[in-house]
Amino acid sequence: MRIQMMKRSIIIAVVVGTLLNLINQGDALVAGLGLDWFKVILTYCVPFAVSLVSSWFTQREIEKKNESLKS
């Protein structure tokens, strides 16, 4: 996989994961309760994985189209 895909996936995971954590656990933060760190980790991992897999599939399709154009 390309480094660009990883960097883009990390940026997306940070932005989307932060928003989702605020939505899902914002009330706990405001109330001064502790966070569920397992949920925090999963909330960042899911958008990272979705972005990375999506980029990989897109790159694969582009390469297949380029190969078919060469033939």
Residue type, 25: Q
Domain ranges (residues) in the chain: 3-70
**Residue 32: predicted pLDDT:** 87
d(C-alpha 54, C-alpha 69), whole Å: 23
**Residue 52: predicted pLDDT:** 96
**Residue 29: predicted pLDDT:** 86
Give the pLDDT of the chain (71 residues) as one tens digit per residue: 689 999 999 999 999 999 999 999 999 888 988 889 999 999 999 999 999 999 999 999 999 999 888 86
**Residue 1: predicted pLDDT:** 66
